[in-house]
Chains A and B, each alone.
Chain A
Amino acid sequence: MTYADWLREDRLPHIYCAGCGNGTVINCTLNALDRMGWKKEETIFVSGIGCSSRAPGYIVTDSLHTTHGRALAFATGIKMANPALHVVVFTGDGDLAAIGGNHFIHACRRNIDLTVVCMNNQIYGMTGGQGSPTTPRGALSTTTPYGSQEPAFDLCELASAAGANFVSRWTSYHVKELTRAVHTGFETPGFSFIEALVQCPTNYGRRNKFRNVMDQIEYFKTHGILLQKVKRLREEGKPIPDDAIVLGDFVQRNRAAMGVRR
């Protein structure tokens, strides 16, 4: 794959900060897309508002950059109206889990044939670093100056409980696994949800003891723990660290789905 095939070169440079993890996720997604052999004219990217949601604007396919939180509702309309189109949604933790939370659970429930890639930077990056529903307890942000007092959402558990056919979590460190997960998401009929934890050096890292970009990526590497291992530890009655990032495929099933190409 060459990037010239999928990226709008006339839109570069992009708006992402130096060291941002979103580019890695776009890369993994485009690689998975290329492997699928999907044609550009039958692939649609949809997004809401936030850093993640700027991604479709750099991709050559048709794309719809919508209102905050509503990407899944717009994508539902596109996919139901024309199931022959492959519809991919880029979203972020604020867009998907806060303002778009209701659309998220209902899209999972409908199990509509979309692939949703969530760039979870655990912060509102675009607006300058406010706390989000996935900001870890105790983490600093401009609206949690004394440390977040709220428990964070586990988006993968949420998607699994709400009925998605494929649910997986990786990070910007785990590029091969993430690419494979997005590819599996594309292959799976029904709703696929892939969460990618990404570093945000500008608005998360520097306030939360990740002074360098690599510090947070290193953290993803050392704190990532496979779902299988978590299950084993649980069975053995052993403790699971509080700060563990649980990685892997949470769900892969074949529940009845909507909007699947016939």
Chain B
Amino acid sequence: MQGNTACAEGALAAGCRFFGGYPITPSTEVAEHMAAKLPKTGGVFIQMEDEIAGIAAVIGASWTGMRAMTATSGPGFSLMMENIGFAVMTETPCVLVNIQRGGPSTGQPTMSAQGDMFQCRFGSHGDYSIIALSPSSVQEMYELTIKSFDLADRFRVPVFLMADEIIGHMRERIEIPPSVPRVERKPLARGVLPFHPDEDLVPGFPQFGMGYGVHVTGLTHDERGYPCTTSPSLHEELVKRLVAKIESARHEIADYRVTNPDAEVVFITYGSPARSVEQVIHDNPSDRVGHLRFRVVWPFPEKTLWEFPNARVFLVPEQNLGQMAREIERHTSVPVISLPKLGGALHTPEELKRAMEAWR
């Protein structure tokens, strides 16, 4: 199965019943598969007039209680930024798939990249936090899409599946489980103010059409949902809660794989560069090469770095100029060496081996 198809199949298995989007390479297969399959499940597929409208329709659909998603790539992702901020501020669960391609601008539509890792975290204006996952196999395109929906509903936040063109267009055999357990959106208890957070800092969801009579606005709002834009303390409290509900749960959200935890030379990856590292480990079993592979990239789980107590160096191959390497560097005194590669080709195992040699 192709990665993009696996993503769509994962969404369907997760109970996603609404897709709103706009065609863009290299993500179109996700939309095409949803267009073919959603009507048969009683769901809705709608091709909107642009990506701004695509994410807007997804947010609207989510308020009716549906699991809803969109899929895009760089230029479309840039267009979605304002409404992503709206989803954050209104605490709207939704899933955005970004099959990353070479940027900036139109860049390389058919080539792989990981250049949007900061954009998904910081691209909309204001302070906020989101959750981003990164699959490095077709199997994970399926699994992590399902996980994205659960996280979105649990934390009421936009969740990003930050794949890259290589994973999106790769074909591999995958295993599909007979059934998929689902984390339900917590409904708002009757008599509770619509934006009053529970202990986990997440308010219950007042689904449209259920008689809650809730006003949802992108303006700074109080717990009733009413606009309140001139109180410094209310704004600060709201923004801090929106950030804290994600960041304080980061070790619970963390999802990663560790290979050779006693290693001194450790690769840190997410997405397709993990494949090259796996090849290096496979080809050199006696070298005890360490590998930390993130399946969840944001919120950044810094404690995962402690899994390698003997690490003398973290080598970070990425298809960008060192975006996550910079984040890793903030959390450790171990030297972090960025191994950037642009243009769409994977790091070769030889390149990675050469990078290792200096640290032996």
Contacts and interface: CB of A to CB of B under 8 A. Distances in A.
A46 B208 CA distance: 12
Given A66-B56, A67-B56, A73-B53, A80 B61 contact: yes
Interface stretch (A37-45, A90-98, A177-185): A37-45
B340 interface: no
Interface string A49-78: 000001011001111111100100111111
B83 A81 contact: no
22 contacts: A40-B211, A40-B213, A56-B215, A57-B215, A62-B209, A63-B215, A64-B208, A65-B217, A65-B227, A66-B218, A73-B52, A73-B56, A73-B57, A74-B57, A76-B46, A76-B48, A76-B60, A81-B68, A82-B66, A82-B209, A102-B49, A103-B53
A106 B61 contact: no
B167 to A, nearest CB: 28
B174 interface: no
B209 A77 contact: no
B68 A57 contact: no
A256 interface: no
A79 B46 CA distance: 12
A65 B61 contact: no
A67 B219 contact: no
A7 to B, nearest CB: 12
B10 to A, nearest CB: 20
Contact of A62 (B46, B214, B219): B214
Nearest to A81: B61
B209 A85 contact: yes
A262 interface: no
A176 interface: no
A94 B161 CA distance: 34
A80 B54 CA distance: 13
Interface of B: 17-18, 20, 44, 46, 48-50, 52-54, 56-66, 68, 82-83, 86, 90, 206, 208-219, 224, 226-227
Taking chain A's interface residues, is the majority helix, strand, or loop, or is none over half, making it mixed? helix
A103 B49 contact: yes
Nearest to B43: A81
A34 B50 CA distance: 35
A70 B53 contact: yes
Contacts of A70: 52-53, 56, 83
B209 A84 contact: yes
Contacts of A8: 215
Contact of A74 (B60, B82, B210, B213): B60
Contacts of B50: 102
A77 B52 contact: no
Contacts of B54: 73
B208 A78 contact: yes
A238 interface: no
Contacts of B44: 80-81
B56 A60 contact: no
A77 B210 contact: no
Contacts of A75: 60
Nearest to A102: B49
B59 A74 contact: yes
Contacts of A80: 18, 44, 46, 57, 61
Contacts of A74: 56-57, 59-60
A74 B94 CA distance: 13
Nearest to B210: A41
A211 B17 CA distance: 54
Given A41-B211, A65-B227, 5 more contacts: A44-B209, A61-B213, A64-B217, A73-B48, A81-B44
